[in-house]
Amino acid sequence: MNTLGTQTFRDKYRSSTLDIALRNGLIAEKICKVDRGTALTIKSPYQTAPTTTVQALTGTYTVTATTVTNDTLTVTDEFITSEHIYDFEQTLSEFDLFAARTEDMIYDVMAAIDKYVLNEVLETGTGTYTTPVGGFTTAANINVIVSNLASKVAGFSEAYKGMYLVIENTDMPGFTQAQMTNGFSFADGALRNGFFTNYGGIDIFVARTGVFSDESTTSASGTKTWTNDGHRLFGVKGLATYAAPRGVRFEEKSVTLKTGKELVAYGYIGAKVWAPKATLTVDITLA
Amino acid sequence: MEFVTDFLRLEHPSKGIISLTKTTMVKKAEKKEKVEPVAEMSPAQIEYRKIIEAYAISNPVKYEMKKEELEAKYNAIV
């Protein structure tokens, strides 16, 4: 007669790899130009715009000097996370711990970079806009806000690169209600399919609450200070640049006095909105 | 206690004008320093004040624009 205890049975896991915790969607790469070169600085000299004079037929003119302004993006901050997995933890585990931790740590560095870039771009943008009272959570405000924001960048040739708006998930109800109640086929579509990621020609990206924050040289902001709590980001795609030399990299190393491996994921970042086009990045204040 | 010195100028019949000093010991007047009431700042307020001060240096243009908003945030912190 068999008297097998329950522990002799193999456990059934829902998936063959370790499950991951909740992850945020990453936005920065979709709205910025990314440079993965290995330079510490990226220089972008801007020339002044020439001025054309319209005059009666005289044949004479005044010569003005051409000026160039130097502007530099410098990689200033390092993003790093590290853990140690002992050999017994890997050996006695049902899962490939190294693979699971590698993937999760790289994501975590990417998420930190995303938050950093969004806040830094918002901080250096010089366009400003204050929403009507109630901000994005009031459905009646959405058409007003969207039209006002679009008008901020309309008329510039860059505007045809496409516009983006980054809100937090707590702002979404007003947007969703506006989509469900405005227009005919659009409202039907919103009612049938849910939140549309484009409204009034603006691509809408939803970040998790807390992404826009107040920080000063913390473990989230590195060397930077920003005061973005209660603010949202709008702008023209591809005008802000961030440098991520070689992207996020990963090392796995043996260390003395310990079995197993030490894992470390890291990346370097600098972000910039070039001064002559900084007005096309709008700092939205929620009222 | 503290020492207070008075200078006296006298005309002596033979020596002319002479100076005399008279030192007396008087009770030192207690200094009444004006104590300003200092509002106690919570740790969260101290942290936020540091952010405001750092921000004023790192981005002075935007700081001027956001000054009222930041102070309102500071005052809302308990």
How far away is chain B from the Cα of A215, in angstroms, using its nearest Cα?
7
Contact B58 A214 (CB under 8 A): no
Mean pLDDT taken over chain A: 92
| Neighbouring residues of A222: CB distance < 8 A, sequence distance ≥ 6 | A76, A77, A78, A79, A116, A269
Asked whether A280 and A127 are in contact (CB, 8 A), the reply is yes
Half-sphere exposure of A139 (CA within 13 A, CB side): 8
Q: Which of A135-144, A194-203, B30-39 has the lowest mean pLDDT?
A: B30-39
Report pLDDT for A1: 58
* 3-class secondary-structure state, position A227: strand
Question: Taking 80 as the threshold, does the pLDDT of residue A16 lie above it?
Answer: no
Averaged pLDDT, B54-73: 93
Report pLDDT for A52: 93
Residues in chain B whose Cβ is within 8 Å of chain A: 48, 50-52, 54-55, 57-59, 61-62, 65-66, 69-70, 73
Percent of chain B with pLDDT over 90: 44
Domain boundaries, chain A: 22-50+63-285
Question: Could you identify the residue written with the tokens 């894992």?
Answer: A263
Better-scored residue on pLDDT, A245 or A23? A245
Asked whether A276 and A246 are in contact (CB, 8 A), the reply is no
Report pLDDT for B9: 65
Length of chain B, please? Answer: 78
Q: Alpha-carbon dihedral of residues A135, A138, A139, A140, nearest 10 degrees? A: -80
Report pLDDT for B4: 62
Interface test with B, best of A131, A227, A231 (most B CBs within 10 A): A227
Averaged pLDDT, B18-34: 64
Question: Taking 90 as the threshold, does the pLDDT of residue B37 lie above it?
Answer: no
Report pLDDT for A241: 93
Percent of chain A with pLDDT over 70: 96
Asked whether A253 and A188 are in contact (CB, 8 A), the reply is no
Search chain B and give the residue with CA nearest A218: B51
Q: How far apart are the first and last CA of chain B?
A: 46
CA distance A217 to A10: 49
CA distance A181 to A204: 18
Band of residue A10 on the pLDDT scale cut at 50, 70, 90: low
Interface test with A, best of B45, B62, B67 (most A CBs within 10 A): B62
Other CB atoms within 10 A of residue A85 CB: 19
CA distance A62 to A106: 58
Better-scored residue on pLDDT, A158 or A11? A158
Question: Could you identify the residue written with the tokens 């711990």?
Answer: A97
Band of residue A94 on the pLDDT scale cut at 50, 70, 90: confident
Question: Taking 90 as the threshold, does the pLDDT of residue B22 lie above it?
Answer: no
Report pLDDT for A130: 97
User: Does A261 lie at the interface with B, CB-CB under 8 angstroms?
Assistant: no
User: Does A283 lie at the interface with B, CB-CB under 8 angstroms?
Assistant: yes
**In which element (H, E) is residue A207 found?**
strand A202-207
How does pLDDT run across A132-162, given as a tens digit for each residue? Answer: 999 999 999 999 999 999 999 999 998 889 9
Contact B54 A217 (CB under 8 A): yes
Asked whether A190 and A208 are in contact (CB, 8 A), the reply is no
How does pLDDT run across A24-69, given as a tens digit for each residue? Answer: 889 999 999 999 999 999 998 888 889 999 999 999 999 999 999 8
Question: Taking 90 as the threshold, does the pLDDT of residue B33 lie above it?
Answer: no
Of the candidate CATH numbers 3.50.50.60, 3.90.1150.10, 3.40.50.300, 3.90.1690.10, the domain formed by A22-50+63-285 belongs to 3.90.1690.10
Band of residue A260 on the pLDDT scale cut at 50, 70, 90: very high
CA distance A146 to A199: 8
Report pLDDT for A135: 96
Report pLDDT for A243: 94
Q: Which residues pair with A59 in a beta bridge?
A: none
Chain centroid to CA A35:
15
Better-scored residue on pLDDT, A229 or A18? A229
Q: For residue B52, what are the CA distances in angstroms to A97, B57, B69?
A: 43, 9, 11
DSSP label at residue A48: P
Most confident of A191-195, B12-16, B32-36: A191-195
CA distance A269 to A267: 7
Question: Taking 90 as the threshold, does the pLDDT of residue B20 lie above it?
Answer: no
Better-scored residue on pLDDT, A265 or B4? A265
Question: Taking 90 as the threshold, does the pLDDT of residue A131 lie above it?
Answer: yes
Asked whether A24 and A208 are in contact (CB, 8 A), the reply is yes
Q: For residue B13, what are the CA distances in angstroms to A208, A279, B10, B17, B18?
A: 99, 91, 10, 9, 10
